[in-house]
Chains A and B, each alone.
Chain A
Amino acid sequence: MAIAEETPKITYTVPKKRHPVLQFAITQPLGAAGLVFIIVLFIAGIFAEYVAPYDPLEIDYGAMLAPPSWEHWMGTDAFGRDVFSRIIYGARTALAVGFLSSLLGSGIGAVIGVVSAYFGGRIDMVIQRFMDILLSFPIIVLALAVVAVLGKWPVAGLDINLIIAIAIPMIPKVSRVVRSAALAIREMPYVDAARAAGYSHARIIFRHIAPNVVAPFLIMFTAFIAQAILLEASLSFLGLGVTEPTPAWGLMLSGASQEFYQEAPWMIIFPGLAISLAVFAFNLFGDSLRDWLDPKIKL
C-alpha cells in the first residue's frame, strides 16, 4: 500500500472582495439595468434645463399638434409645446413626487410599525386599528379625498399636499411589514437583557430593532416610489394632481390630450411610455434589491 501521498496542497485564496455595486451588477443584471435607467432619469431631472431643447412652457401657436420630426423629437402638444422637453421636465416632477412621497410614507410607516411592535399591548392594538381603517380605503379614494380636502400647497413648483395625499395610503402597508420584522426582533432575548440592563427605549430601538427593519424598509421604499409615480399619474389624469402648465407625465395624458389623442397619438404614447419605463425600472431594481439583500423575505 502506498504511503499516503503528500496531502494535496490546498490553496486557499481569499476571494477578491468586489465592490458591492459591481457585485450587484453581476449577479442581478436586470436590476442593474433598472438602476442605470433610474440614474438616467435623475440626471435628466436635475439637469433638465441643459438637456431639454425647448422651454416646456413655451407656447408656439404656429406648431400645434406637430408630429415627431427633427425639430421636435416627440412632436408637440395642443399648445405647440415640445413634448420631449415636457417629458424631461416631467421626469423631475415624477421623481420628486415619487421620491418625497415614498420617503414620507415609508418613513412614517416604518416609525409607526416599530413603535407599534416595540411597545405592544394596548398601543399596538389602537395603532393597528387606525392602520386597518386606512387600509380599508381603496388607495385612489384616500388620495382623492386628501387632495380634495387639503387643496393645493405649492412649494418650489411641487404640490406638497399631493405628496401627502400619495404618502398616506402607503403608511399602513409599510407599518404592517415593518411591524412584523420588528416583532421578530423583539422576541429575541438580548432585547430583554438590554431592558433589564436599563437601556432606554430609544437606544434599544435604534441599536437593535432598527437595523433589522432596514432591509424590508429599503425594498418597500423603492417599490413605493414606483407606485407613487403611478398614483400621481392617475390623480393627474383625473384632474386632481399637478395642474397646467406644470409638465407632469400623468397630466400630459389627460386634459387636452384627451381631446386630441386620436389625431396626435404621440401626445399620449410618449408620456405613457415614460411612466411605464420609470415604474418598470424601479420595480426591476426593487426586486433585485430584495433578491440580493435577503431572498427569504416574504413581502
Chain B
Amino acid sequence: MLRYTINRLLLMIPTLLGVAVLVFVLLRLMPGDIVEMRYLMDGGQVSPEVLAQERARLGLDKPLWQQCIDWMGGLLVGDLGTSMWTGRPVWDEISSRFQLSFQVAIMATILATAIAIPLGTLAALFKDTWVDRIIQVFAIAGLAVPSFWLGMLMILSLLLFFNWIPPLTFTPIYVDPWHNLSQLIWPALAVGYRYSAVATRMTRSTVLEVLQEDYIRTARAKGVFERLVVTRHAMRNAMLPVVTVIGLEFAFLIGGLVVTEQVFNLNGIGKLFVETVTRNDYTMVQALVMLVATFFIIVNFIVDLLYAALDPRIRYR
C-alpha cells in the first residue's frame, strides 16, 4: 500500500509540471497583448514608446524561456507573482474572491448530497415503478438543463413575481447571514441541480448493484427487517462510489461556476477567470489554472488511494 501511495504521489509531479508548461504555452499562443488591451481598449491615443515601456515593466520583453523559468521558479517557492493588469499580488486578487466561490461550491455540495442520497436510494428501492421513473426524469433533466439558463430563469422569476433581486455585494456569512444566504442560495441552486442529478444517478445505480449482492439476499433470507437491510447493509456499501463521485464532481463545479457567476454577477473565482483570460493577464490565468489543476489532481489522488485501499488488485498492477 505504501509503495502504491508513493508511486501515485511521485506521478503527481510530472502531471503538475505538464499542466504548468501547457498553460504557459497556451497563453503565449493566444493572440492579443495585455498592454495593448489596457491602453487601447478605450480608444486612447498612446504612443508606441509608452507601450514598449509598459511591456518591459511587465517583463514581457524577456525571451520566452526566461519568462517560463522565472515563473516556475516563483511557483516552487509559492510566489505567484503580481497581476499584469492591476499590479496587485496574485494571491490577494484570488483570496478576496475565493471565499465566495468556495461557499457557493460547499452549499451546492450540501444541497446535492441532501437531495441525491435519499432520492437515489428511493429510486433503487422502487425500481421501475413510477417513483423511479419520476426521479430518473428529474435526474436527467438536471443533466440537460444548462445551469446558466436556469440561473437566468431564476432571476427573471424573482424580478417578475417579487420585484426583488439578490444582493449585489458579498458579505461573509459570519457578518450578516441573511444577506449572505439570500445572495448565494440562487447560484448554489442553479449549480447544485446538475450536481445532485449526477449524484442521484450514481446513488441509484450503486444501491441497485449492492441490493443484488449475495449478502443482501442472505440478510433477507435471515429475516432481517427490510429497513435494516437497506440502511445497515446496502447503503453503507453503496456509499463509497457515491462519495467518490461527489468528490470528483466538486472539482468539476469550478467549470460550472465560470458561467454561473457571470449570470449572477458574483465576484468569485469563475468571473475572475473569465476576466483575466479576456485580458491576457498571464500571471493571473496561470495561477488560477495551476490552483484548479492542483486541486483536481489531489482529489484524484485521494480517490485512487481510497480505491486501492479497498481493492487490493489495483495496487499490484
Contacts and interface: CB of A to CB of B under 8 A. Distances in A.
**Touch A–B, Cβ below 8 Å:** yes
Interface of A: 30, 129-130, 132-133, 135-141, 144-146, 148-149, 151, 226, 230, 233-234, 237-238, 250, 253, 261-262, 265, 268-269, 272, 275-280, 283-284, 287
B26 A129 contact: no
Interface residues of B, number: 43
Interface in B158-174: 159-160
By secondary structure, the B interface counts as helix
Nearest to A235: B259
Contact of A284 (B27, B140, B289): B140
Contacts of A279: 143-145
A249 to B, nearest CB: 9
A283 B159 contact: no
Contacts of B19: 133, 136-137
Contacts of A132: 11, 15, 18, 297, 300
B15 A133 contact: yes
A276 B141 contact: yes
B106 interface: no
Nearest to B253: A138
A238 B159 CA distance: 23
Nearest to A250: B146
Nearest to B133: A30
A141 to B, nearest CB: 6
Given A137-B293, A141-B292, 7 more contacts: A140-B259, A141-B273, A148-B30, A233-B146, A276-B141, A280-B140, A284-B140
By secondary structure, the A interface counts as helix
Nearest to A272: B149
A265 B145 contact: no
Interface of B: 11, 14-15, 18-19, 22-23, 26-27, 29-31, 133, 136, 140-141, 143-146, 148-149, 152-153, 156, 159-160, 251-252, 254-255, 258-259, 262, 273-274, 277, 289, 292-293, 296-297, 300
B159 to A, nearest CB: 7
B143 A226 contact: yes
Contacts of B252: 138-139
A148 B148 CA distance: 21
B254 A275 contact: no
A138 B297 contact: no
A144 B277 CA distance: 9
A161 B216 CA distance: 52
B289 A137 contact: yes
B156 A280 contact: no
Nearest to A128: B11
A140 B148 CA distance: 13
Q: Looking at B160, B255, B262, which has the most chain A CB atoms within 10 Å of its CB?
A: B255
Contacts of B29: 149
Q: Looking at B29, B133, B140, B293, which has the most chain A CB atoms within 10 Å of its CB?
A: B140
A148 B292 CA distance: 19
Nearest to A169: B255
Contacts of A253: 146, 148-149, 152
A299 to B, nearest CB: 9
Given A145-B26, A151-B31, A265-B156, A276 B149 contact: yes
A99 to B, nearest CB: 17
A261 B140 contact: no
B251 to A, nearest CB: 8
B38 to A, nearest CB: 18
Contact of B18 (A129, A141, A283): A129
Nearest to A279: B144
A148 B18 contact: no
A280 B139 CA distance: 10
Contacts of B145: 272, 275-276, 279
10 contacts: A133-B19, A136-B293, A136-B300, A139-B252, A237-B259, A253-B149, A262-B156, A265-B156, A272-B146, A275-B146
A280 B26 contact: no
B255 A139 contact: yes
Contacts of A138: 251-252, 254-255, 258, 292, 296
Going nearest first, the 6 A-B pairs with the smallest beta carbon separation are: A279-B144, A138-B255, A280-B144, A272-B149, A133-B18, A136-B293
A238 B292 CA distance: 20
Contacts of A268: 149, 152-153, 156
A129 B11 contact: yes
A277 B144 contact: yes
A283 B201 CA distance: 12
